[in-house]
Amino acid sequence: MGKDSSDLFGALFDAPKLSRVVPVLVPLPVPEAYSYAVPDGMAVEPGSVVQVPLGPRQVIGVVWDGDEDLRLDPKKLRPITLAFDCPPLTRDMRAFIDWVASYTLSPPGLVARMAVRAPAALDPEPMVEALRYRGGEPERLTPARARVLDLTRDEMPWTRSGLAHAAGVSASVIDGLVKQGLFDTVFLPPPPVVARPDPDYTAPRIEGPQKQAASEIVENMQAGGFSASLIDGVTGSGKTEVYFEAIAEALRQGRQVLILLPEIALTASFLERFQDRFGAKPAEWHSDLSPRLREKVWRGVVTGEVRVVAGARSALFLPFEELGLIIVDEEHDPAYKQEDRVFYNARDMAVVRGRIGDFPVVLVSATPSVESQVNGQSGRYHMVHLPTRFGEAAMPDLHLVDMRRHPPDRGGFLSPVLLRAVKKTVENGHQALLFLNRRGYAPLTLCRVCGHRFQCPQCSSWLVEHRFKGQIQCHQCGYAEKTPEACPECGTFDHLVACGPGVERIAEEVERHFPDARTIVMSSDLLGGVKRMRLELEAIARGDADIVIGTQLVAKGHNFPLMTLVGIVDADLGLANGDPRAAERTFQLLSQVTGRAGRTGLKSHGLLQTYQPQHPVMQAIVSGDASAFYEREIGEREKALLPPFGRLASIIVSADSRADAEGHARGLRAAAPKVSGIAVLGPAEAPLALVRGRHRFRLLVHGRRNSDMQAYLRQMLAHGPKVRGSVHVQLDIDPQSFL
């Protein structure tokens, strides 16, 4: 006994012995792991999540792979402060983090931080206090007391509040029984964050082409190992039902599943569908979760308690214990690209994660990206087609409205053709959706007298009027001011004019034409945030609105049974910018939006207002000949050696002063190695030349398909000017945005 206590006191009061050194990735933009000493008696291994001192702070880090550097003296290094009580990141997860860091040219510590970002989750959850019947009878048996005892005589433990609720009594009734010594206090493990989904909760209901598609994928899975499949099926063809069978197979194999969805916060109906099939909801992962819930989900994922996660792109970095399948729904969606700190495309990185973990990845879309189409055609991805809608539902009839021949009234944006169609739809008791991908009232406000335009003081963008809120706002940085009554330039009152439409302005026009119709405006800046948006979406699905005016928020995945008309207010909107993916994006977005119509078998229509009815995108959409569109688009990409036939990388240089940004960008250009097959374009001032007071210049690196862009960029940065002062250099491999 004496020996034990002296050891205990020794551990408490002597400095810990340090004999080992390990590399630890810390959340800093540095290229390598830092070395820390391991106190004797602390058990760490590669993947262990630890807390370490960093300057004056304590930070979360991850013990990394790599040999011990024998030249380092552990006594001269700072020791790890503590090792958290949670399973270490797996070898596959570590390999994935290293791969992403090297591909995106990001500091590995910043990539690792995306995997362990919920610090309080690292301690196990406290046990839950509960009551268990011990025996005996109360002094006086009231009806309330009898109800409590009826529930507890089998000696199953109950929480105090759970018991009060189940017995329909107040907590004081229970406290009275506890005082009389009828209950023991016991401690239970905390309840799981979600129940376990059961692959056989209901039988699959698929048949025909769906069944064929599902069995192809499941056979692939049973063969084991990595595979990538692409489910390419029109909106409403039942793709979700098909990939549910892949999920069931993974669950039967005892593996965890990740479902990536672009707008998970708004897809409550998806969670319910999942629950109907598997008897339990998946755990959700997105930015709108409470910190407490995030922690619980994170812990559940590492320990393996959570079997299925449905999440936004950041869920890809959750450290699953035994991940066995990733589904990427709406794989073409631009929301999968993160353009902040670590620039990555979750769709592409999901395939990488599957390859490293040796498990299947299933991409899903009604309008696959050109990249995935090409991978499908070349046989890299296993293609599965679902060419028709499920059941009675037919695709909507699509027509172009030539705005040159059917112009709207003065001051309006809706052509007589579209207005007539809306009128008929509402008269039939159905719903119409008017789609315009522009928030607010008007994209530009100017003074009629002096021509003054309202511009953001910190960005090179116009201020957008939001009439509901009485504000003009910058959509770049969020700057907002009260809509002024007088022009700040010339002082004239009441002469500000709105130029162009936003959804609020379309709503005004709709109300003028249909004063009795129930209208809803749906855009991401609704007061009330995600909660309000969910409620509004449910209201639309129930039929509580006649006319919906919305941005892309309503385009994705929703099922509105009564919707039989979709009107695209400005089909040309996305074609105007110089983005190489403009045609593809427009095609995808317009197909998705028109795909909201007629999902339950009602005859439906789509009308696209355009000034360019001959444009190949417009023609592809109305003819329904998607394959011709893809063929043409693929041909053009191939000719220009654009992705996936060539490679692109952007370098964005920003600084407080224009001269510093431009100077640094020129310096980088001068440092570009001369290599055949890779060319550097620019620098040029970015289309968004000023954001939050920072001036921006861009370089574009263009290489052949097989060129080593990463090596090239590393050399360029190493030989380029030193990053000084306010200068910041951001790399974007496979850029999606060129602004």
Cis peptide before 683 (omega within 30 of 0): yes
- Please tell me the distance from the alpha carbon of residue 177 to that of residue 182, in angstroms, as a whole number: 6
User: Half-sphere exposure (CA, 13 Å, Cβ side) for 362?
Assistant: 30
Among 241, 295, 546, 572, binds ligand ADP (CB under 6 A): 241
Among 210, 369, 372, 523, binds ligand ADP (CB under 6 A): 210
Among candidates 267, 262, 230, which has minimal Cα distance to 334? 262
Q: Which does 479 bind (CB under 5 to 8 A by kind): ligand ADP, Zn ion, none?
A: Zn ion
Between residues 180 and 559, which has the closer beta carbon with respect to ligand ADP? Answer: 559
Between residues 393 and 403, which has the closer beta carbon with respect to ligand ADP? Answer: 393
| Residue 238 touching ligand ADP (CB under 6 A) | yes
Residue 335: CB minimum distance to ligand ADP, A: 17
- Helices within 89-228 (DSSP H only): 91-104, 108-115, 143-152, 160-167, 171-179, 208-223
Q: Which does 206 bind (CB under 5 to 8 A by kind): ligand ADP, Zn ion, none?
A: ligand ADP
Residue 597: CB minimum distance to ligand ADP, A: 13
Among candidates 304, 317, 353, which has minimal Cα distance to 87? 304
| Residue 205 touching ligand ADP (CB under 6 A) | yes
- Please tell me the distance from the alpha carbon of residue 304 to that of residue 88, in angstroms, as a whole number: 12
Residue 364: CB minimum distance to ligand ADP, A: 7
Q: Which does 236 bind (CB under 5 to 8 A by kind): ligand ADP, Zn ion, none?
A: ligand ADP
Between residues 145 and 239, which has the closer beta carbon with respect to ligand ADP? Answer: 239
Between residues 473 and 552, which has the closer beta carbon with respect to ligand ADP? Answer: 552
| Residue 107 touching ligand ADP (CB under 6 A) | no
| Residue 206 touching ligand ADP (CB under 6 A) | yes
CA distances from 347 to 43, 71, 221, 336, 361 (A): 36, 42, 19, 6, 10
Q: Which does 559 bind (CB under 5 to 8 A by kind): ligand ADP, Zn ion, none?
A: ligand ADP
Among the residue ranges 78-86, 132-140, 230-238, 729-737, the one whose residues contact ligand ADP (CB under 6 A) = 230-238
> Which parts of 367-406 interact with ligand ADP (CB under 6 A)?
390
Among the residue ranges 51-59, 93-101, 202-210, 414-422, the one whose residues contact ligand ADP (CB under 6 A) = 202-210
> Which residue shows structure tokens 């631009």?
334
Report the 10 Å Cβ neighbour count for 491.
10
Residue type at 248 in one-letter notation: A
Between residues 524 and 600, which has the closer beta carbon with respect to ligand ADP? Answer: 600
Among 61, 157, 176, 233, binds ligand ADP (CB under 6 A): 233
Between residues 214 and 678, which has the closer beta carbon with respect to ligand ADP? Answer: 214
What is the CA angle 606-395-400, rounded to 5? 30
Among candidates 519, 540, 549, which has minimal Cα distance to 435? 549
User: Half-sphere exposure (CA, 13 Å, Cβ side) for 635?
Assistant: 6
| Residue 559 touching ligand ADP (CB under 6 A) | yes
Q: Which does 237 bind (CB under 5 to 8 A by kind): Zn ion, ligand ADP, none?
A: ligand ADP
Whether 583 and 572 have beta carbons less than 8 Å apart is answered as no
Q: Which residues are paired to 589 by β-bridges?
A: none
- Please tell me the distance from the alpha carbon of residue 355 to that of residue 677, in angstroms, as a whole number: 28
Cis peptide before 124 (omega within 30 of 0): no
Among candidates 548, 554, 611, which has minimal Cα distance to 437? 554
Among candidates 102, 108, 118, which has minimal Cα distance to 29? 108
| Residue 441 touching ligand ADP (CB under 6 A) | no
CA distances from 147 to 30, 159, 168, 360 (A): 63, 15, 8, 52
Orientation angle between helical segments 503-513 and 416-427, nearest 10 degrees: 70
Among the residue ranges 231-239, 484-492, 576-584, 683-691, the one whose residues contact ligand ADP (CB under 6 A) = 231-239
Q: Which residues are paired to 102 by β-bridges?
A: none
> Which parts of 454-473 interact with Zn ion (CB under 5 A)?
456, 458-459
- Which positions ≥6 away from 512 have C-beta within 8 Å? none
Count of residues engaged in binding ligand ADP, rule: CB under 6 A:
13
| Residue 680 touching Zn ion (CB under 5 A) | no
Among the residue ranges 236-244, 368-376, 490-498, 706-714, the one whose residues contact ligand ADP (CB under 6 A) = 236-244
**Token pair of 227, please?**
């595979």
- Please tell me the distance from the alpha carbon of residue 354 to that of residue 629, in angstroms, as a whole number: 30
| Residue 215 touching Zn ion (CB under 5 A) | no
| Residue 476 touching Zn ion (CB under 5 A) | yes
Among candidates 375, 334, 351, which has minimal Cα distance to 232? 375
CA distances from 98 to 34, 107, 173 (A): 15, 9, 58
Q: Which does 367 bind (CB under 5 to 8 A by kind): ligand ADP, Zn ion, none?
A: none
| Residue 236 touching ligand ADP (CB under 6 A) | yes
Between residues 233 and 262, which has the closer beta carbon with respect to ligand ADP? Answer: 233
Among the residue ranges 118-126, 157-165, 450-458, 545-553, the one whose residues contact Zn ion (CB under 5 A) = 450-458
Residue 474: CB minimum distance to Zn ion, A: 3
| Residue 524 touching Zn ion (CB under 5 A) | no
Among the residue ranges 233-241, 340-348, 417-425, 514-522, the one whose residues contact ligand ADP (CB under 6 A) = 233-241
| Residue 26 touching ligand ADP (CB under 6 A) | no
| Residue 477 touching Zn ion (CB under 5 A) | yes
Among the residue ranges 161-169, 410-418, 453-461, 489-497, the one whose residues contact Zn ion (CB under 5 A) = 453-461
Residue 470: CB minimum distance to ligand ADP, A: 39
Between residues 281 and 299, which has the closer beta carbon with respect to ligand ADP? Answer: 281
Among candidates 285, 239, 294, 291, which has minimal Cα distance to 264? 285
- Which positions ≥6 away from 584 have C-beta within 8 Å? 369, 370, 633
Asked whether the CA dihedral 434, 435, 438, 444 is positive or negative, the reply is: negative
| Residue 566 touching ligand ADP (CB under 6 A) | no
Among 99, 103, 468, 479, binds Zn ion (CB under 5 A): 479
**Token pair of 112, please?**
């690792």
Q: Which does 474 bind (CB under 5 to 8 A by kind): ligand ADP, Zn ion, none?
A: Zn ion
Between residues 250 and 691, which has the closer beta carbon with respect to Zn ion? Answer: 691
By residue count, the chain amounts to: 739
DSSP strand pairing (256-260 vs 323-329): parallel
| Residue 240 touching ligand ADP (CB under 6 A) | yes
Residues near Zn ion, by CB under 5 A: 456, 458-459, 474, 476-477, 479
Residues near ligand ADP, by CB under 6 A: 205-206, 210, 233, 235-241, 390, 559
